[in-house]
């Protein structure tokens, strides 16, 4: 299911997120992480979890080597992504 973190998937979380959670639990600061990383009760042990409002959105970029020729498929994908609404132009 999209947007749901199954308790059995905890081992699949990105290592950086796990380290951030451990550092916060140890009293070494605060962190902003994906909400689904703390959906399981055991992932929230010792932590106070608050949702952010307004919702945050990520700005992503397509990164590729300058010296490589793009395949037709990747070139078309990049064009489609650049035409998407709210896509900033470089």
Cα–Cα distance for residue pair 17/5, rounded to 1 Å: 14
Model-level pTM?
A: 0.50
Cα–Cα distance for residue pair 47/87, rounded to 1 Å: 35
Nearest to 5 by CA among 25, 28, 30, 33: 33
Using left for φ > 0, alpha for ψ between -120 and 50, and beta otherwise, residue 75 falls in alpha
Residue 37: Cβ-neighbour burial (10 angstroms; 0-12, 13-18, 19+): buried
pLDDT digits (tens, 9 = 90+) for 20-71: 998 998 988 888 888 888 889 998 898 999 888 787 777 778 888 888 888 8
**Residue 10 banded pLDDT, cuts 50, 70, 90:** very low
């Amino acid at each position: 299911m999209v947007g749901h973190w199954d308790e059995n998937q905890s081992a699949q979380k990105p290592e950086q997120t796990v380290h951030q959670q451990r550092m916060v639990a140890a009293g070494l600061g605060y962190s902003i992480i994906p909400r689904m990383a703390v959906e399981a009760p055991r992932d929230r042990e010792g932590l106070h979890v608050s949702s952010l409002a307004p919702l945050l959105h990520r700005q992503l970029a397509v990164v590729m080597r300058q010296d490589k020729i793009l395949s037709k498929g990747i070139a078309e994908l990049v064009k489609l992504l650049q035409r998407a609404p709210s896509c900033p132009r470089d």
